[in-house]
Amino acid sequence: MDKNSQQRLTMIDSLRGLALVGIFLVNITFFTTSLQTISFGIELWNGWLDQGLMLLRGIVIDGKFILIFSFLFGFGMVLMQESSRRKGSRFHRLYIRRLLALLAFGLLHGLLIWYGDILTHYAILGFALLLFQRCKPPTLLIWSAALLLIVPVLLTGASLLSPGNGSQAFEPISQADAHRIGIYFQERDAAIYGEGTFLQITVQRINDYIASLFNMLVFYPQILGMFLLGAYFCKQRILHDPNGNRKIIARLIWLGALIGLPLQVMMSLAKGLPSWVEAASLFVGAPLVALAYIGAFALLYQKRGWSNKLRILSHPGKMAFTNYLLQSVICGLIFYGYGFGWFGKVPPAMQMLLVIVIFTLQTVFSIVWLRRFPIGPLEYVWRLFTYWGSPVKRSGQDVSHPRQQRGTL
């Protein structure tokens, strides 16, 4: 592999590492707060620092890094397709096995570790992504735009056609009632997750897992749209040559800054917005900001000074599958009753500090692991499922042992 190709792969790994820490900053709240309390938008912490950090997180982090991860999932599908073609392998068969293994991991994760699992959804939507793998780039772009816009367009239409011309926000009950309901669920879940037995926690986790599955359905078009956009970028080689595509990337950054970011600020600061404005902020603003982050990261990575600093993210990024699941295990031990039982006791500022500490330790772990093995432990297990445990030949070597193979999530 030439130096430029190696740098491109490292940049994608680093971007995946950045997405991983961004997702963790959001996910940790779900380990210490009731799912229903979050759904009602109830603020449990009144300190200026906690409220300020949550406001900042809502503007610059919430909903953006999961979209970057979705983008990279589609990007990775094309990379795997191209690799299979070079090796003469049957891509369809390999990718279906890969998705089935991902689905199995997701179900185990969601039912036994943490209800907020995303792997199940990626596996399900991965089968839909597979339908587009032969499409040309313009087709991918058209479908991506249609899927990203379908939910806000439908919600806007429904709002404008409803009585009151869509002036009512999403919240169907009063703020006082919502607050009472949110506090009730927080206290109930604190008693279960924070103090309950493993069986009680498991029963509640399964209930929340089922609820979260249905909650995510409205985001399916957006996630699939980002899958397709990632596939488009890979087929068009936009991130393969950021300097050569600087004009395209610069436009994405400006769109995110001038349209996406103001929409996010408005949604975070304004109260009682019309439902169509909330829909535009959530389903249009967030993807634009996510694309701006991707573009800015790609351009920064071309600068030697920045590249040397950002490259450290490539280590946890190469082991994103392992590190994502490990974060859930660690947070379960911190917040649930079978561990320290800190559910509902850790304010947002401390949550973010915990993320920094845990992710730093994961980065060190990834560096140490990758000095001995080319891929993470769960990445290797996933690869065994994908290839039915068969050795994978590369450059004339037997790479059935993890020391001798390399892969990406």
pLDDT, one tens digit per residue, over 109-126 is 999 999 999 999 999 999
Sign of the four-CA dihedral 334, 336, 341, 345: positive
Per-residue model confidence (pLDDT) at position 166: 47
Question: Is 400 a domain residue?
Answer: no
C-alpha 141/C-alpha 247 separation (Å) is: 18
Question: Is 166 a domain residue?
Answer: no
Contact in structure between 75 and 234 (CB atoms under 8 Å) = yes
Which pTM value belongs to this model?
A: 0.90
3-state secondary structure of 388: coil
Among the listed residues 177, 158, 178, the one whose alpha carbon sits nearest the alpha carbon of residue 168: 158
Per-residue model confidence (pLDDT) at position 8: 60
Per-residue model confidence (pLDDT) at position 175: 76
Per-residue model confidence (pLDDT) at position 299: 96
Per-residue model confidence (pLDDT) at position 268: 87
Contacts of 217 (CB under 8 A, 6+ apart): none
Q: Could you read off the pLDDT of 363-380 as tens digits, one per residue?
A: 999 999 999 998 999 999
The angle subtended at Cα 112 by Cα 382 and Cα 381, nearest 5°, is: 10
C-alpha 9/C-alpha 17 separation (Å) is: 12
Contacts of 375 (CB under 8 A, 6+ apart): 318, 319, 383, 402, 405, 406, 407
Question: Is 178 a domain residue?
Answer: no
C-alpha 93/C-alpha 114 separation (Å) is: 30
Question: Is 402 a domain residue?
Answer: no
Question: Is 399 a domain residue?
Answer: no
Per-residue model confidence (pLDDT) at position 273: 73
Chain-centre distance of CA 341, in angstroms? 26
Per-residue model confidence (pLDDT) at position 4: 53
Segments in the chain below pLDDT 70: 1-8, 162-172, 389-409
Number of domains the chain is built from: 1
Among the listed residues 40, 329, 79, 70, the one whose alpha carbon sits nearest the alpha carbon of residue 221: 70
C-alpha 147/C-alpha 229 separation (Å) is: 10
Per-residue model confidence (pLDDT) at position 40: 84
Contact in structure between 16 and 409 (CB atoms under 8 Å) = yes
Per-residue model confidence (pLDDT) at position 204: 96
Judge residue 119's burial from the number of C-beta atoms within 10 Å of its C-beta, 0-12 exposed, 13-18 middle, 19 or more buried: buried
C-alpha 122/C-alpha 110 separation (Å) is: 13
Per-residue model confidence (pLDDT) at position 88: 81
Quote the longest CA-to-CA distance of the chain: 69
Question: Is 393 a domain residue?
Answer: no
> Which residue range(s) make up the domain with 341?
3-157+184-387
Per-residue model confidence (pLDDT) at position 89: 80
Question: Is 232 a domain residue?
Answer: yes
Among the listed residues 366, 367, 364, 357, the one whose alpha carbon sits nearest the alpha carbon of residue 330: 357
